[in-house]
Structure 1
Amino acid sequence: MKRRPRRSIPATLTAVVLLAACALVAVVAIQMLLGERPWIRYDTVAVALHDTRWSDVISAIVGAGAVLLGLVLVLAAVLPGKPTVLPLRGDLDSGASRRSYRSTLRTAAATVDGVSDATVKLKSRTVSATVSTGRTTTDGLADAVRGAIAHRLDQIDPALRPTVKVRVRAARSAS
């Protein structure tokens, strides 16, 4: 079971950039072997690199860009992302996907009387629910939604119990 996200976006971008660089080198090498005029001349690149000094501004900019790109890729590989599977309490190694976890909590919030629409956001230690209602007075609605979500969390029994925050939006005013 994969509990952490895969780093597919940084890996894909790195692979595409390396593939483009390799394809360019291969095309230039084939053009040189066939005696055609290459897209990038080796002599031009060698002279430009030979004339560049370490104290030039362009060297500092390219070096800083390479260091920044390297740090971003290392951080993307090392720092944990949002878990894709949230662990459940119990004897077995079990979990629930973020999507199903969120949708079951949204369903629990939407079944409360007076709620017309519900959205749920999962954060590391909190569940934030925003519910819409057509009622003019919303007294007790937030507590009812909080209770419904807490009851569903009791049924799911997550390993780390999140705190529940509820925000009620009324469509009409009480004027």
Structure 2
Amino acid sequence: MKRHPRRSVPATLTALVLLAACALVAVVTIQMLLGETPWIRYDTVAAALHGTRWTDTVTAIVGAAAVLLGLILVLAAIIPGKPVVLPLRGDLDSGASRRSYRSTLRVAASAVDGVSDARVKLKPRTIAATVTTGRTTIDGLADAVRRSVEERLDQIDPAVRPTVRVKIRAVRKAS
């Protein structure tokens, strides 16, 4: 189970732009059918477009912007984002949310004696834990944090076992 994030922001923006364009066309059409003066006159738009040449700078800029916007939307649809649910090993199709996975590993890292703060970053194949300590000697602390995080990983049992990297930040330096 690898559920990727939905592309709701690009889809919503595209839908709103299309809705606004359709609403404008509908309002102008209804105004024309009722014999009222439309907000946008067809003759004015047709004359402006008829007078435009393919070699004009404005045409090239508008075309380039449309192509760029289209490429951005296609790339947003094709390129997968970070998985929202990370797969777990087992008989069932199960997974853990990225947020709970990260917070569980952060708690495991901060449970080690001498660690005052822990931050965990989930990368595709690695877990990077950065811990802060008030100790002046940090000998063995990285190994203890790595063991604690790996024990928690054994309990979680992810489908793909990431490697654990630990970085220690000492607040106080040894004199």
When the two structures are superposed, what TM-score results if normalisation uses the length of structure 2? 0.91
2:120 aligns with 120
2:51 aligns with 51
Q: What's the secondary structure of 2:17's corresponding residue? A: helix
Change (3 A) 1:2 1:158: closer
Q: CA RMSD in A?
A: 1.7
Counting matched residue pairs gives 175
| Distance in 2 separating the partners of 1:64 and 1:15 | 21
Q: Deviations over 1:7-64 (max 9, x none)?
A: 1111111111111212222333344445544332222211111111111111111111
Report the Cα offset of residue 2 of structure 1: 6.6
1:63 aligns with 63
Q: What stretches of structure 2 of length at least 5 have no aligned partner?
A: none
| Distance in 1 separating the partners of 2:30 and 2:134 | 70
2:82 aligns with 82
The 5-angstrom pairing of residues 93-172 of structure 1 reads 93-172=93-172
| 2:15 is aligned with 1:15 | yes
Q: What's the secondary structure of 2:160's corresponding residue? A: coil
| Distance in 2 separating the partners of 1:31 and 1:136 | 78
Q: What's the secondary structure of 2:146's corresponding residue? A: helix
Question: Residue 69 of structure 1 aligns to which amino acid in structure 2?
Answer: L
When the two structures are superposed, what TM-score results if normalisation uses the length of structure 1? 0.91
Identical amino acids, percent of aligned pairs = 79
* Contact 2:5 2:82 survives alignment (8 Å): yes
| Distance in 2 separating the partners of 1:23 and 1:172 | 64
Question: Residue 113 of structure 2 aligns to which amino acid in structure 1?
Answer: D
Question: Residue 64 of structure 2 aligns to which amino acid in structure 1?
Answer: A
Report the Cα offset of residue 174 of structure 1: 2.2
